[in-house]
Amino acid sequence: MKKLTQKIISAFLLSALLLSLAPALPASAKAPLQATGNPLAGVKIGIDAGHQGKGNYGKEPNAPGSSVMKTKVSSGTQGRFTRVPEYEVNLAVALLLEEKLTALGAEVVMTRRTNDIDITNVERTLLINDAGVDLSIKIHADGSENPDVNGAWMLIPTNSITADINEQSKAAAEIILAEFVAETGAKNRGLQPRTDITGFNWSTVPVVLIEMGYMTNETEDRLLATDEYREKCAQGLANGVLAWVGPQIIEDPIDAFSDVSASAWFAPYIIWAAETAVVTGFPDGTFHPNSTMTRAEFVQVLHSLAGKPSVGKKTDFADVQDSDWFASAVYWAAENSVTAGTGDGRFNPAGAVTREEAVTFLLRFAKLKGDNRDFSATQLNFSDTDSISPWAYIAVQWGVGSGVVGGYPDGTFLPQRTATRAEVVTILHGYVN
């Protein structure tokens, strides 16, 4: 399919560029993370903080139609040394994880946000099923008779009635547990296949259960009682979700964007952008290929491409505040001569980037990266060559000479036309590849 799409591009690329207009994007859709990417946009995660303040010791079937009855929900274990209850640790980590996943663009469904609640294991699982999540994560801590036992592990469903989700759950558990132990330094106790967990047997979505550590082990009990370690636990799980989603996106990235059809001329470039996270989509699962990109967003993309180096010296722009989400990117760009602003002590962050601006930014970026190819002899024969701004002329020569950018079929270059997100991605693809 990719090859077919490539052919379509060659035929329609330029005319499609002409046709694409740029509808304005609502201001709210331009939140900080979006320029560099919401890697979890379109991903829905269920989080179940295990147990609750007061157990409910009534019984419920441990699987649909099963005669095996299990406790509806218990209050869990307790720190042998700190006396901190498990339900409290689980909830603290769950709330931190919710925050992190949401910041990465995911939609999160929580079974509880308080310890003072009564919701059984079956009810929790049905709630997550109904939300249609991509993955459900159950958060627990463990206990043992032996105080020396320590480490983290993940339980996974293996029942025949969960045959549809067993394989996916296992794949997710392997990836997430690896990230969890990498972040926390906990011992990796591996995966444990289970057929008796109510929250697995009722699940219709891939599900994993992390046992973060042993509350009967002094070291882990004391660690799990601290904000610092809970933060690491949540970070490890968030890293795990990112690592798990990564390969999924690469498999079929176009599915992630409701407004990008596989036959669109820019589809392969957007696939590339999503795979590399150079430019990604919005939390609602769209990419807005025909929307404009602001100068702030463009500089943010270049800063990401450069690996987000830190800023040595801040350059003053009247319209850039330290607290702006794009501030580091603009300071970095100014410090490295990728931008000099708009010449009046301003940067104009909200201005839509024009084609000649995009190429100019990119030429300076290329120079910064050590690309010193000289295209100053390149002849520009566009019907509107005269309208190219003097400061952008060498950049357009460089862009055309190096094949990063071209004109339109009618012989124009349209230097002051605003570049669409799809065009920017195409130009970046041309540059990087």
Identity of the residue, 215 or 353, whose beta carbon is nearer to Zn ion in the bound complex: 215
How many residues are recorded in the chain?
433
> Least distance from C-beta 110 to Zn ion, angstroms?
17
Q: Closest approach of Cβ 209 to Zn ion, in Å? A: 8
Residue 398, both tokens: 């460089």
Which residues, listed in sequence order, are joined to residue 292 by a DSSP beta bridge? 420
Which candidate, 256, 325, 323, 313, places its Cα nearest to that of 285? 256
Beta bridge partners of 209: 138, 155
Q: What number of helices (H) and strands (E) belong to the chain?
A: 13, 8
Identify which of residues 76 and 289 has a Cβ nearer to Zn ion in the complex. Answer: 76
Nearer to Zn ion, 76 or 399 (CB): 76
3-state secondary structure string across 138-169: EEEEECCCCCCCCCEEEEEECCHHHHHHHHHH
140 or 232: CB nearest Zn ion: 140
DSSP string over 19-41: H---PPPPGGG--GGGGT--TTT
DSSP bridge partners of 340: 342
CB-nearer residue toward Zn ion: 40 or 155: 155
Shortest distance, CB of residue 45 to Zn ion, whole angstroms? 19
CB of 77 vs Zn ion, minimal distance in Å? 6
Helix axes 295-305, 421-432, angle to 10 degrees: 30
Handedness of CA 79, 220, 104, 46 (dihedral sign): negative
State the DSSP string of 74-143.
----B-TTT--BHHHHHHHHHHHHHHHHHHTT-EEEES-S-SS----HHHHHHHHHHHT-SEEEEEEEE-
- Write down the least CB distance from residue 103 to Zn ion, Å: 27
Least separation in angstroms between residue 138's CB and Zn ion is 8
Which residues in 162-195 are b (16+ Cβ under 10 Å) and which e?
beebbebbbbbbbbbbbbbbebbebeebebeeee
CB nearer to Zn ion: give 85 or 268: 85
Q: Which two tokens stand for residue 363?
A: 């030429």
Residue whose beta carbon is closest to Zn ion: 140
Cβ proximity to Zn ion, 139 vs 249, nearer residue: 139
Q: Are 297 and 420 in contact (CB under 8 A)?
A: no
Given the complex with Zn ion, which of 209 and 245 has the nearer CB atom? 209
User: Given the complex with Zn ion, which of 35 and 197 has the nearer CB atom?
Assistant: 197
Q: What are phi and psi of 268, to 5 degrees?
A: -65, -35
Amino acid, single-letter form, for residue 292: T
Q: How far is the CB of 60 from Zn ion (least distance, A)?
A: 17
Q: Which residues bind Zn ion (CB under 5 A)?
A: 50, 76, 140
Minimum Å distance from CB 311 to Zn ion?
45
Query: Which distant-in-sequence residues (6+ apart) come within 8 Å of 322 by Cβ?
Result: 314
Q: How far is the CB of 94 from Zn ion (least distance, A)?
A: 12
> Which residue in 101, 131, 109 sits closest to 40, CA to CA?
101
Identity of the residue, 71 or 248, whose beta carbon is nearer to Zn ion in the bound complex: 71
- DSSP label of 192: E
Q: How far is CA 218 from the centre of its chain?
A: 36
Q: How far is the CB of 99 from Zn ion (least distance, A)?
A: 22
